[in-house]
Structure formats: structure tokens, C-alpha cells
Structure 1
């Protein structure tokens, strides 16, 4: 009788573990619908931005269409660094000083690494958000606040703006840019 009880208890524990594993009840894997909707857009944006970075030959990374414009490398560094900055300041709410690195003298691989890091930082910050986090307002400049959800949308728009400029630099050098990507 005791052996049957032990076997039944062991079987019940094994079944419970199997059920919990099958349904994946890990807290960190729960996500919001906003995050689920947004992450594919970020992954596509990253892929497209890296394709734009790759399309420009390294010797053209110093190209800029006018004296007041950023160079191609500066556009790419700006995208990558601001994503890291936005992920800290606008998503995590950290107090950070904006200190964009100079693109001068950086290789194509170094610039690309900054872009990859920026997208990775933003993706990790977005993945960590819960439903209530999205509604929290954080400062954006001295007189403005925006919710984390608005900050994510703003950051994507910012990347699109600078990626489009970089894409135009590619065309201005008679190079076929990568095809536009959408989720």
C-alpha cells in the first residue's frame, strides 16, 4: 500500500512538472500585446538598417551631401547610439547623459557594431516591459513627457528618419540601396 502511494505521488509530481513545462509558465516569458506587436517591427528595422550599413562601401562612409550634413558613418552611429540612449533614458527611466561617440576614424565594422548594440539594447528594454510599464510617463526634454509606449514609437520613427537619409546617400553615390523591408 505504501509503495502504491509513493508511486502515485511520484507520478503526480512528474505529471505536474510536465504540464508546467508544456505551458511554459515562466514569468519572464509573459509579454504584452504591444510588445508582441512591436518586436517584429524592431527586428525588421534592425535587419534593414544593417543592410543599408552594408550597402555603402567603407571608403564612402565619410561621404556627406553638404557641409552641414552628417557623414554616412555619422548617420549610422547616430542611429545606434541613440537607440542605446533611448533604451536607458526613455524606456528604463535611467538618468544618463547623452554622449554620442564620434564616427571619425571608425571602421565600417565598428560602426556596424554600434548599430547592432543599439538595436540589441532597445529590444532587450522592450522585452522587459509589462503592461503597466507602457503607461508610465518619463521626461523627454525639459518640458515634455511621454509614455514608454510613445517612446518606443518615437525611437522607431527616429531610426526610420536617419536610415532614410543614409539610404539617400547610397543613391547619391550611384549604388543600388537594399529593398525596403516591412514586417
Structure 2
């Protein structure tokens, strides 16, 4: 089970980083309407969300939702994404995944996909063709 989950995680990681890379650094402040996060904030939310979901639903360590101020700049945000995916990978590698942890893993991926889909829309608003989704 863990090998399949790690392969799925690898695909999610690559696609998320490809989406983050597709937006030029100068456009990380873009938001399609005033009421939503800008692109950088959205990508930061994905990174923080990975940590939060992993802690609460894979490691089963109750953690309050308390996101820090968003990272600034494309490089810092990309690094935060890489670190979040690395930590999640270590949890999957290092844990016997019972049913609750497997459900937590899939919930984490659903959260990522939900917000990554929003990020793809931000790319399209800027006439940027998003990377092709590979499953």
C-alpha cells in the first residue's frame, strides 16, 4: 500500500510544483478578484495545508489550524511546497498506514487537488497554459 501511495504522492508533488513554476514570479501577487488569495498565498496555503493534514490525519497529532504569514516570493513558496511534500513522504514511508491514516492521506491529496485546481484557473486568467495533468 505504501509504495502505491508514494507513487501517487510523487505525481501530486510534480504536478503541484509544475503549476507553481508555470506562474512567473512577477505574477505571484495576481488574484482574479479581490475576495480571494493571490497566487502566492494560494500556493502557500497548499504547503501549510499539507503539513496540517499530515499532522492531524496521518500522524494523528492534534494540531490547531494556525497558518503563519504567507511566504513571500516564488522561490520561498516553492521551497515551502517542497518541504511540505518531503515531510508528507517521510510520514508515509515511516508509518504502518492503518485505515485512518490512509483516509488522512487521501484527504490531504483532495485538499491539494482542490486548491491546485484554483491555481490552474489563475494561470489561465493570465493566458498561461497550465502543465498537462499526469495521473
Shorter chain as normaliser: what TM range? over 0.9
Which position in structure 2 is the counterpart of 1:128?
94
Residues 170 and 177, structure 1, Cα contact 8 Å, conserved in 2: yes
Aligned pair count reads: 135
Q: Which has the larger radius of gyration?
A: 1
Q: Which runs of 5 or more structure 1 residues have no equivalent in the other structure?
A: 1-33, 136-146
User: Given the two structures, how large is their TM-score scaled by the length of structure 1?
Assistant: 0.70
User: Given the two structures, how large is their TM-score scaled by the length of structure 2?
Assistant: 0.93
Q: CA deviation at 1:94?
A: 1.6
Q: CA deviation at 1:107?
A: 1.2
Q: Which runs of 5 or more structure 2 residues have no equivalent in the other structure?
A: none
Which position in structure 2 is the counterpart of 1:47?
14
State how far apart, in whole Å, the 2-side matches of 1:101 and 1:174 are: 31
- 1:112 pairs with one of 78, 85, 90: 78
Residues 52 and 178, structure 1, Cα contact 8 Å, conserved in 2: yes
- 2:23 pairs with one of 56, 63, 66: 56
Q: Which has the higher contact order (CA 8 A, sep 6+)?
A: 2
The reply to whether residue 171 of structure 1 matches residue 124 of structure 2 is: yes
